[in-house]
Amino acid sequence: MHSITANGATIPALGFGTFRMDAGEVAAVLPEALRLGFRHVDTAQIYGNEEAVGAAIASSGVARDEIFLTTKVWVDKFAPADFIPSVEESLRKLGTDHVDLLLLHWPGGSDVSRADQIDGLNRARDAGMTRHIGVSNYSSAQMHEAAKLSAAPLVTNQVEYHPWLDQTAVLAAARELGMSLTAYYAMADGKSATDPVLAEIGAKHGKTAAQVALRWQVQQPGVVTLSKTAKVERLPENLAIFDFELSGDEMAAIHALATPAGRIVSPANLAPRWD
């Protein structure tokens, strides 16, 4: 497993995402994912599966200190009186005394000031509840604002990223601030696995289109990608992306797939004005 460094954090470049996975799916797949080599697990309060994730980690046989564990505070817990209790509840469900990364889940959906939200992250870090802090679904302008407000360095912005969505501005902001970009929806709701451009490139390397999509992400400096599957048999495929390299022309051809209409996730009242 390759790792990247960002503002003092060492983050496994390939993570296992648990969005839209119920407790049964987590229990069936995550322990095997960890046994096969995944060392980065991503969940969130709103996913409703933190307890299942914690149980899966405990049953995997992999030591907790070998796993980079991320969770996210939901927007209804941003108020100063609610923030720390919500993180305490997440830790109880996860069966751990700390996470490795704690994120604010969305920039909208709350009347709590950005300063108070960022202060909540710092208070959780100062209390030893998380090793690192960051944000999710922030625009480049919001990333700069948050970084200025934070006493501790922010280590990532977790955002939608796949070949059909240009994230040049957010990547530039992340690199300027010493942060990573953590990519979700790498498979673009299945589109990556069937795209002919990705498939043609994959055929040259003996890889699938899905593997090419993941490799394209982790080959970009400072990018972490979250893969997700509810099928145990797909885990080895998702892991096998570090034994080949895309050429400059292949990387450019994948970047060229981006379109102005490529974004998939943009919930009203939660999403920012995107770059």
Annotated catalytic residue within 47, 138, 161, 184 = 47
Give me 12's structure tokens.
């496994």
Q: How far apart are CA 150 and CA 154, in angstroms?
A: 7
* Torsion angles phi and psi, residue 268, rounded to 5: -60, 145
Specify the 3-state DSSP secondary structure of 183: strand
50's enclosing H/E stretch is helix 50-59
161 part of the active site? no
Specify the 3-state DSSP secondary structure of 9: strand
Specify the 3-state DSSP secondary structure of 160: strand
Q: How far apart are CA 213 and CA 168, in angstroms?
A: 17
CA distances from 176 to 6, 167, 170 (A): 11, 14, 10
Question: Could you list the active site residues?
Answer: 47
